[in-house]
Amino acid sequence: MKILITGGAGYIGSTVAHSFIDKKHKVTIIDNLINGSISNIPKKCNFIKCDIGDVKRLRKLGFSKYDIVIHFAALIDNQESLAKRDLYLDNNYTKSKKFFNFCMERGMKNFIFSSTAAVYGKSNVAVNESSKTKPLSPYGQSKLKFEKFLKKSKKNINYVILRYFNVAGVEAKMRCGFKIQNNKSLFSNLCKSYLGATKFNIYGKNFNTNDGTAVRDFIYISDLSEIHYKFSLAIVKKKLRLVVNCGYGQGYSVMDIIKKLKDISKKNFYYVFKKRRKNDIEYSVANTDQLNKLQNIQFNNDKLKIIIKTSLLWYKKFSKNIEKN
């Protein structure tokens, strides 16, 4: 198949791109490299440095027809979006809409969209695809707005909206991974603290959870990549128009993760409690019945060990000169 991937220089997009190339598919990546890294991009793909909103330039490039478009390109910092609402709505909704319409002009009819669990907002139970959506941040709002746009598209357009919960870890071959510098994700900061670069900040200890820290459903990056591959095969064969949660249905608190790291490493490290951040959700766990039913995907729920080990290996590989505070 011929696959067009936006945001393919990013953490998730590049992992999916490598997976498709490993399976002998032809991949083209579009990325403006504002957040992505050129080193993540597979050597065997066709790379176009371009913003997805620059439709005029895309038209000049004379795009051919692709079997599937997988759309990752987005701004993704939940906290940052609180201060940059208009930027997030413009990038994640307006530009995405322009790009979608451009693809439809070119006769592309199969679209896989990278969405987020942030569309759900607060919940104290595992959420399914029919659960109420009430995003608390412009990031979540921008993703939900584009979801609604997709759902209103023409009936001959096929789409799968994948709502990611917390994606973590690094693919086994270590060809691509998360950004080291200026990365605010939990596992990046955990690695940094573990290697002695800084103390680990835990934001909030008064959540309504078993140990007072926030609970998340973490999914291993390579499992998420496999989900993309299976739905890509399915969307070509069938007319799919659906939303699917991507998680394991298993929640871990921040303290659970710290304990797991200590068990793996037999080493202590320092952490400090900080004030809860605005709009931080205390509990975010997926109901995965639909994922398991549609694709018969049964993952080993306890991938936390693999996530932690691969994250540490990646961080060690690219952060040799981190100075201790």
Cα separation, 91 vs 6, in Å, equals 13
Based on C-alpha coordinates, what's the Rg of the chain? Answer: 19
Amino acid identity, position 107: G
H/E run at residue 25: none
270 is catalytic: no
pLDDT at 74: 97
- The C-alpha angle 62, 68, 72, rounded to 5 degrees, equals 90
- Looking at residue 323, what is its pLDDT? 40
Dig out the tokens for 187 from the structure: 């596992």
pLDDT at 316 over 90: no
What integer pLDDT is reported at residue 184 of this predicted model? 81
CA 146 – CA 153 distance, rounded (Å): 11
Q: Check residue 206 and report its DSSP letter.
A: -
User: Cβ-count burial of 119 within 10 angstroms (0-12 exposed, 13-18 middle, 19+ buried)?
Assistant: buried
Please tell me the pTM assigned to this model.
Answer: 0.95
Mean pLDDT, the chain, integer: 92
Q: Give the type of residue at 43.
A: K
Q: Yes or no: say if 224 and 164 are a contact pair by the CB < 8 Å rule.
A: yes
**pLDDT for residue 302:** 67
Q: Where are the alpha helices (DSSP H) in the chain?
A: 11-22, 55-60, 78-83, 85-89, 95-105, 138-151, 186-194, 221-237, 254-265, 289-295, 304-318
Helix (H) or strand (E) holding 270: none
For residue 229, what are its two tokens?
Answer: 């591959």
- Give the pLDDT mean for 84-112: 96
d(CA 255, CA 213): 7
Upper half-sphere CA count for residue 20 (Cβ side, 13 Å): 34
Roughly how many angstroms between the first and final C-alpha of the chain, as a whole number? 49
Please, how many CA atoms are within 13 Å of residue 130, restricted to the half-sphere of its CB? Answer: 2
Which position has the token pair 């103390």? Answer: 199
Residue 40 is predicted with a pLDDT of 96
More confident residue, 17 or 59: 17
Full DSSP string of 61-112: TT----SEEEE------HHHHHH-HHHHHIIIIIHHHHHHHHHHHTT--EEE
Distance CA 17, CA 3 (A): 9
Match 């989900």 to its residue by tokens. Answer: 227
Q: If residue 246 lies in a helix (H) or strand (E), which one and from where to where? A: strand 241-246
Other CB atoms within 10 Å distance of the CB of residue 185? 17
Q: What are phi and psi for residue 321, nearest 5 degrees?
A: -110, 25
The residue extents of the domains of the chain are 2-169+217-246
Please state the rounded mean pLDDT for residues 77-88.
95
What is the C-alpha separation between 226 and 52, in angstroms, rounded?
A: 25
In this prediction, residue 300 has a pLDDT band, given cuts at 50, 70 and 90, of low
The yes-or-no verdict on residue 261 having pLDDT over 80 is: yes
Catalytic residue, from 93, 120, 139, 229: name it.
139
Question: Tens digit of pLDDT for each residue in 209-218?
Answer: 999 999 999 9
Rounded to an integer, the average pLDDT of 93-103 is: 96
Contact 320, 180 (CB under 8 A): no
**pLDDT digits over 135-190, tens only?**
999 999 999 999 999 999 988 999 999 999 999 999 999 999 998 877 888 998 88
CATH class label, 2-169+217-246: alpha beta
Across the beta sheet with 283-284, the strand order is 252-253, 215-216, 283-284
Looking at the chain, the whole-number percentage of residues with pLDDT higher than 70 is 95
Residue carrying the six token digits 């451009």: 102
Using an 8 Å Cβ cutoff, are 161 and 150 in contact? Answer: yes
Do 211 and 259 meet the contact criterion of CB atoms below 8 Å apart? no
Note the pLDDT of residue 233. 95
